[in-house]
Structure 1
Amino acid sequence: MAAAKSVLLAFLLSSFLAGTALGKGYSTTRLSEGQQCRLRRIQSVQPNQRIESEGGLTELWDYNDEQFECAGVVACRNTLRQNSLFLPEFHNAPRLIYIERGRGLLGITFPGCAETYHSDPSAGERRGGLERLGGQSETEQSERRDQHQKVHRIRRGDIIAIPEGAVHWCYNDGDEELVAISVIDLNNQNNQLDERPRAFFLAGGFGGGERGFRGQTEGRGGRFNYRNIFQGFDEHMLAESYGVSPDLIRRMQSQNTDRGIMIQVRERMRVVAPEQDDEEFELEEEERFRRRRFNSEEDEAAARNGFEETFCTMKVRQNIEVRREAEVHSRQAGKLNLVNMHKMPILQYIDMSAERGRLNPRALYTPHWSITDHRLVYVLRGNAHVQITDNNGENIFDERVNEGEMFVIPQFYTTVARASNEGFEWVSFKTSGQPMKSPLAGYTSVLRALPIEVIENAYEMSPREAMEVKFNRDHQTFLLSPSQQGGGVGRFD
């Protein structure tokens, strides 16, 4: 029996990894007509659709907006109230989440992975779970104690990676609302359905007279069919599958349909979660995995097998607020924190990454373009003057962006940003696990790598002027301190 169970678990895990672990690099890129990025204008926008639930609020950006269609993504902001549960769901594409505010517990279930956390009947868990088994002996209750996969402690500043098809839920056990910004990469090669966001809920949904629910909306879209997946099955077949009565199945099919996808919990939940020591051990294991070097194709193949072995315990979150871990740090200009596949190997397989940035008042983010990815930029605090130009040199975005707004920077489009007197903070979601940028100013810039004569002739400059263009920002990169020289005053100042 034990051997058969091990074989089954291995099969489930390998099946899951077959879709998840390959990533985009092993498939042919597909671009729909809507993703040809024929953008004439980009706008910084707020969510335009609202879905109310008993335990919180879901706000969605219009995924039919041409800038989101170009990037092949959909974005939403979930606000989970205190002592409320976001019901279990899975999506048709990988998802990257940033916790903007609050703290809570997050569960992610990977098929084929063992149940590694167990309740202790003698340590107070009985009140939360085993007492509900009423009528059973203490021995029977002990044999049926709760077992589950790891539950993660999440907090403000965390980036969380969730592969497509992985069931996840969230519980707010903190003392304030938990606010999460989510981006789903619909154009990811692991999504073989279509380029529409699809949420599959295991419980809950929306009630009402007709099937589906129409949320409050200010733009296109607005019709949502969020009902749990059990509702479509025959109750007797499910009853036989679970070995329970059809009455219980009917309750599973209809429960919470009038409470939405976030519900208030009547009694405080008690869930077995890792202690701090476990989190530190997890970080050490991740660091050892990250430092591996592949000297041959055989080494890399062996590493992939090792990845399957460690997948069940792999880190799915990384705090992006830790200032001492900033990749770019300038006292005069600001900081950049990156989370890519080298910090979180799971990002190699969902092919996404994130950036958390802070610009000091009046500082600049150097003109640059992305070589590998589209970017969705969400404004956390402050504001900035941002410009984006396309391949024709036309300005398609020239706006002051403000807190709570989001906009897209398409791959290869060139952009520059200058913070206001209040400063500027943002988080970017990227459609590549190993993003690369090419700057136009600073010591790592394209112009600094060109010979002086090339710059002279290309721009009809004198040697002195070419030297100034090439070397005046020689001591800075990406984040540029405020400068009086050539600064001028723009229409947003």
Structure 2
Amino acid sequence: MELNLAPQASDNTLVEVDGVGAYYEWTPAKSPILKAGKLGAGKLVLQPRGFALPHYSNCAKIGYVIQGACRVGIIQEEEEEEVLIISKGDAIPVPLGAISWWFNGGDSAVTIVFLGETTRSYNPGRIDYFLLSGSMGLLAGFSSEFVAKTYHITEDQAKKLTKSQAYPLIMKLDDQIAMPQSHQPNYINVISIMDCHDISAENLPLLEKVGLSASLVRLHPGAVLRPSYSTDHSYRIFYAVAGNGKIQIVGLNGALALDGEVEQGQMFAVPCFFAVALIAGGQGIDLFSVITSSRPKIGDLGGKLSPWKALSSSVVQASLNVDAEFVKIFKSNLVI
């Protein structure tokens, strides 16, 4: 597989409004692995009073709050609207087709990165959004006649309904609009990944439906993320929340597919069965990752769970073509 696996910063601005916020995305043009793996990545930034209009997408994804806090409204399968507050370190799954809105009611910016799969996207490698309102909204596409008959209103009222909101995705709300408060304080589908580091269907049941899982890796300066690989067909997509490091990815026939560096704000993806390893730089590094499986199976090439630890010493000796004393030293260092 010859793909450009190099870490990349977002390369497209879908929408940006001064003083309100923006939505940035990674595209297959710069990161072809997204299309090959049917992955998607985007980043939402909302300034105080910034509001992302209600929408849904044909992509299951997990949002991770990098900074700040915001209010989120979610409707799943025609259920009641659930309103919750998420803050830095929280991860929130957004199921395929779920309707959501996002509002920053605080006094500082909020940034959320979304990683997911785009199997059903019209543009593989990109997340397709469908807005309920606004200049890019679904209602704006229908004629006044259809809208009037649907909602039992006059055509003039239909024009007001579909044309009043001129913003395409995000807008700034004035203080006169009181947004709903959280009424789901024990909402079980939000989890602080900073506390547990890994979320899957085992500790967040909604992920069984979403079909994804996530993890957060925090490495001190010079620490290593040992070589690991997915033992099933899962792809992994990573976002560097903070810091920097060196990264290597090895693929088919032991070929080094990537030997480079990753820094804060960049995204990279690892094909299924490829092995990835990372050494944290002088700042250390925090990595948020999403795996395209609700119950991921990851193989570790180092440590006590390494296959080298499980293999009998004679097999290791023959496989590496080394002497027995080296095997003893090698296996005794496979710890943690």
TM (normalized to structure 1)?
Answer: 0.64
Moved more, 195-204 or 162-171: 195-204
Q: Does 1:343 find its partner at 2:251?
A: no
- In the alignment, the residues of structure 1 paired with residue 107 and residue 254 of structure 2 have an alpha-carbon distance, to the nearest angstrom, of 49
- Alpha-carbon shift at residue 194 of structure 1 (Å): 6.2
**Alignment map for 1:302-381 (pairs within 5 Å):** 315-322=188-195, 325=196, 337-372=197-232, 373-381=234-242
Query: Does the 8 Å contact 1:78/1:181 carry over to 2?
Result: yes
Which AA in structure 2 matches 1:47?
Answer: S
- In the alignment, the residues of structure 2 paired with residue 150 and residue 458 of structure 1 have an alpha-carbon distance, to the nearest angstrom, of 56
- Report the secondary structure of 2:254's partner residue: coil
- Alpha-carbon shift at residue 94 of structure 1 (Å): 1.1
Relative to structure 1, is the Cα distance of residues 429 and 79 closer, same or farther in structure 2, using a 3 angstrom cutoff?
Answer: same
- In the alignment, the residues of structure 2 paired with residue 47 and residue 274 of structure 1 have an alpha-carbon distance, to the nearest angstrom, of 31
Aligned to 1:48: 11
Which AA in structure 1 matches 2:314?
Answer: E
Q: When you count helix as a share of all residues, which structure comes out higher?
A: 1
- In the alignment, the residues of structure 2 paired with residue 406 and residue 160 of structure 1 have an alpha-carbon distance, to the nearest angstrom, of 19
Q: Residue 457 of structure 1: which of 307, 310, 318 is its match? A: 318
**Alignment map for 1:236-247 (pairs within 5 Å):** 236-247=145-156
How many residues are matched?
Answer: 331
- Alpha-carbon shift at residue 445 of structure 1 (Å): 0.7
Q: Residue 408 of structure 1: which of 255, 266, 269 is its match? A: 269
Q: When you count strand as a share of all residues, which structure comes out higher?
A: 2
- Alpha-carbon shift at residue 440 of structure 1 (Å): 1.1
Query: Does the 8 Å contact 2:71/2:182 carry over to 1?
Result: no
Q: Does 1:197 find its partner at 2:197?
A: no
**Alignment map for 1:104-119 (pairs within 5 Å):** 104-113=70-79, 115=80
Aligned to 1:262: 170
- Alpha-carbon shift at residue 184 of structure 1 (Å): 3.3
Query: Does the 8 Å contact 2:93/2:207 carry over to 1?
Result: yes
TM (normalized to structure 2)?
Answer: 0.93
- Alpha-carbon shift at residue 439 of structure 1 (Å): 0.9
The structure 1 segments of at least 4 consecutive aligned residues displaced by more than 6 Å after TM superposition are: none
- In the alignment, the residues of structure 2 paired with residue 63 and residue 256 of structure 1 have an alpha-carbon distance, to the nearest angstrom, of 31
Structure 1: unaligned runs, 5 residues or longer = 1-37, 116-148, 206-226, 283-314, 326-336, 477-493
- In the alignment, the residues of structure 1 paired with residue 274 and residue 38 of structure 2 have an alpha-carbon distance, to the nearest angstrom, of 16
Query: Does the 8 Å contact 2:306/2:334 carry over to 1?
Result: no
Cα displacement string for residues 218-249 of structure 1 (whole angstroms, at most 9, x for unaligned residues): xxxxxxxxx11012212123122212232222
Q: Does 1:230 find its partner at 2:139?
A: yes
- Alpha-carbon shift at residue 316 of structure 1 (Å): 2.5
Q: Does 1:179 find its partner at 2:115?
A: no
Query: Does the 8 Å contact 1:97/1:183 carry over to 2?
Result: yes
- Alpha-carbon shift at residue 467 of structure 1 (Å): 1.3
**Alignment map for 1:30-109 (pairs within 5 Å):** 38-50=1-13, 51-53=15-17, 55-64=20-29, 65-109=31-75
- In the alignment, the residues of structure 1 paired with residue 143 and residue 4 of structure 2 have an alpha-carbon distance, to the nearest angstrom, of 49
Of all paired residues, the percent bearing the same amino acid is: 22
- In the alignment, the residues of structure 1 paired with residue 177 and residue 202 of structure 2 have an alpha-carbon distance, to the nearest angstrom, of 35
Query: Does the 8 Å contact 2:8/2:266 carry over to 1?
Result: yes
Aligned to 1:482: none
- Report the secondary structure of 1:70's partner residue: helix
- In the alignment, the residues of structure 1 paired with residue 302 and residue 221 of structure 2 have an alpha-carbon distance, to the nearest angstrom, of 19
Question: Looking at CA atoms only, which structure, 1 or 2, has the larger radius of gyration?
Answer: 1
Moved more, 234-243 or 397-406: 234-243
- Alpha-carbon shift at residue 40 of structure 1 (Å): 4.1
- Alpha-carbon shift at residue 268 of structure 1 (Å): 5.1
Query: Does the 8 Å contact 2:134/2:140 carry over to 1?
Result: no
- Report the secondary structure of 1:399's partner residue: strand
Which AA in structure 1 matches 2:279?
Answer: R
- In the alignment, the residues of structure 2 paired with residue 110 and residue 439 of structure 1 have an alpha-carbon distance, to the nearest angstrom, of 36
Which AA in structure 1 matches 2:215?
Answer: E
**Alignment map for 1:286-297 (pairs within 5 Å):** none
Query: Does the 8 Å contact 2:207/2:294 carry over to 1?
Result: yes
- Alpha-carbon shift at residue 193 of structure 1 (Å): 5.6
